[in-house]
Chain A
Amino acid sequence: MAERSQPSANYRSWPVITALTIVSLPLLLMYVYLFLDTVTVKQADALLPSGLTLNHWRFLWQTTEGKANIWQVTVNTLLFAACTTSLVLIVSSMAGYVLSRLNVPARGFFLAGVMVLHAFPSVTLIIAIFIVLQMIGLYNSLIGVILVKAAIDLPLGIWLMKGFYDTVPWEIEMAGVVDGASRFRVWRSLVLPQVKPGIMALGLFSFLSGWGEFILPQVLAPGNQVQVLSVYLAGFLADDNNYDFNMFKAVGVFYLVPVLLVYALFNKYLMNIYGGGSKG
């Protein structure tokens, strides 16, 4: 982003900036009001707040009747996102290496398969997965959803890691092998450090996507004990009578802040994936 073509100014940039700002206004407005509404009092028909309050955040210390405890739900979400991420990272960093460097039977077939799966309407499989989990008794357990979510994220992970391994020079491995290290050791201590950006990107992506995942937990683990934040929040949204929209927004902010933090801190790694690092 540092070097950018700066051709001579044969047009003014402020009209364009103004136009873009107007188009972006709904988005900005929504996010600004999201934060504002959680800490202020507002009359029902007013646009601007009239006072400060922390009352909307009371869900942090008191549990609504019939709803799960927010901390329990947060722990579940963290557990879900973290387990999915580690599973995806471990499995795809191994599989990506194999596809990039080692000669295994049916390699081409596997690669094509991964490519096809990557562009696959995975959410539509949820019906079959629901029936299967009910049959084998993993319905309403966190383990079931974690496995399913990790499997759905795997094709992207494998493809991305393979792309990163492809850029590692051969010589590094040659040096290791000549020095008498086993192939596994070469991968573990020489190659793996080279693809750190890829691991970071994939890990962040997996975490964010697991943290925000809605439909899988909603269908496969809706119970109060295993609920995650998205399902908890959707429960509020569906509860038409007796909703407290500002408290609902406070839960939303509580849920969103980790995402924004992770994004703000690591966005240059994450760009590897969003920018199409794997696809060009």
Chain B
Amino acid sequence: MKSSRTLGLVMIAPAAIMIVLFFLMPVVLTAVFSMTSMTTATGISGGVYQIAPNSLIALKSAMPDIAAEMAEPRYTIDDAGLKAVEGLGLAPGIAAELRAKHTGEVFPTRRDVERMIKDLAERPSTREVKQISEQFNRSVLNTRFDSKEQLFSALDSLGFKLTPEQKETVARVTYTGWTWTTDNFSRMATSPDMARVLFNTVLYVALVLMLFNVGYALLLAILTHYMPPTPASIFRGIWLLPRITPVVIYVMLWKWLAWDSGFISILMGKFGYPPKNYLLDNAYNAWFFVVLINGFIGASMGMLVFSSAMKAIPKSQFYASEVDGASRWQQIRYIILPQMRWPILFVTCYQTLSLLASFNEILLATNGGPGNATEVWALSAYHTALRNYAGNLEYGLGAAMALVLVVIGVAMSLLYLRVFSYGTLVAKPLIED
């Protein structure tokens, strides 16, 4: 049926376009940016070529004599300089003689050019010599060139004799824009800070996942399963609150609880403890709260998945076991848990990814502090690329860090597709030929 095919293409087009433009393209661009040295300093569009003092320092190690030469001014008798001399209102013969005899000459030092000017037929005074020589000062220092060609022609006209390789080196160190590089990845592999962040991330994911997303969620689901309907739905409602509350308010509540003017401080004050910021007091406290804050949110999803899975267990199994005299614990151990294998596996896989990528709560609560104690990978990528204390945002390095998460994400979701037998999911629906 031709028409349904066309209709299908038309109807799926908006989704395809949006996903490609705002989802897939950023993924690809993350990969591209991760291979660059983009920072605030280099800008995100192309840069210019500038022989600045710091680029000369970089050049010194490779080509010390050329660097030294570039640092000094050069004197070139060119048209612009001649016009300027004519405009000085000196004796007209000076300009005319310079133009006729010396156009195009290059003098490496001020002494050389001034000796030449002194020897002119008009014999300018020492003051005039200085004035004239200044018009031909053609230092390359701190001039900006929009392209390589302009840089090279300027160097040529100033009499620098450079081989093509040397020119490339000069162009490389004087370029102010971003360049292609794999430095980001080697920095990630070697930096001790990154190792610390990686450790934090593993600890964070493991703690929240075990204690709350799976452990507490399972407990909550089992307990509410055996409860009368009213208290059960009240508890479920309470534990869903963190998930539906906007993250900014939710974290604000925790801050209110833990701040030095907050609830815990006031409560402890009643027992004579001085108020302090329990959240940022030390690394252990910060970790304690970070795990709680994220865990309380994470518990809800597991609770819902597990509850609905338990509801699907045939009631007859419970009745039968009770007739046989099974206790609650035996019911949980031999009926519920064995049938929860898939939901538990699913929640574990799914929440691992969510936890790896989520950093909103930590950003708002501790911002990675105290020190770097609660800095996790995603937060660190955010800090590196978008909110940096040093002020120089390292887009390239941040993108490289994000790419690591992307790669993990894709790898793990492909794994899920295998584990949760994607084939059967796709085969089911009714498809018209």
Find the A residue at minimum CB distance from B314: A5
**In the complex, what residues of A have CB within 8 A of residue B121's CB?**
none
Q: Is A95 an interface residue (CB 8 A)?
A: yes
**In the complex, what residues of B have CB within 8 A of residue A211's CB?**
246
Interface centre among A24, A119, A249, A276 (most CB of B within 10 A): A119
Whether B358 contacts A123 by the Cβ 8 Å rule is yes
| Interface residues on chain B, size class | 35 or more
Whether B263 contacts A33 by the Cβ 8 Å rule is yes
Q: Is B206 an interface residue (CB 8 A)?
A: no
**In the complex, what residues of B have CB within 8 A of residue A105's CB?**
9
Known: A124-B357, A125-B30. A147 touches B243 (CB 8 A): no
Whether A24 contacts B12 by the Cβ 8 Å rule is no
Whether A230 contacts B26 by the Cβ 8 Å rule is no
Q: Is A29 an interface residue (CB 8 A)?
A: yes
Whether A104 contacts B19 by the Cβ 8 Å rule is no
Bound CA span A43–B377, Å? 41
Q: Is B402 an interface residue (CB 8 A)?
A: yes
A47-61 CB mask vs B (1 if < 8 Å, else 0) is 100000000000000
Q: Tell me the smallest distance from the CB of A247 to a CB of chain B, in Å.
A: 12
* Candidates B7, B256, B311; contact of A33 at CB < 8 Å: B256
A-B contact pairs, 8 of them (CB 8 A): A7-B318, A27-B239, A94-B11, A104-B9, A110-B16, A148-B22, A162-B429, A263-B244
The residues of B with any CB-CB pair to A shorter than 8 Å are 3-5, 7-9, 11-12, 14-16, 18-19, 21-23, 25-27, 29-30, 33, 38, 44-45, 220, 223, 225-229, 231-233, 235, 238-249, 251-257, 261, 263, 266-267, 269-270, 292, 296, 300-301, 304-305, 307-308, 311, 315, 318-319, 322, 327-328, 331, 346, 350, 353, 356-360, 363-364, 378, 381-382, 385-386, 395, 398-399, 402, 405-406, 408-410, 412-414, 416-417, 422, 425-426, 428-433
The residues of A with any CB-CB pair to B shorter than 8 Å are 1-2, 4-8, 10-11, 13, 16-17, 20, 24, 26-31, 33-34, 44-47, 90-92, 94-95, 97-105, 107-108, 110-132, 134-135, 147-148, 150-152, 154-155, 158, 162, 165-166, 170, 182-184, 187, 208, 211-212, 214-215, 219, 229-230, 233-234, 237, 245, 248-249, 252, 255-256, 259-260, 263, 271, 274-276, 279-280
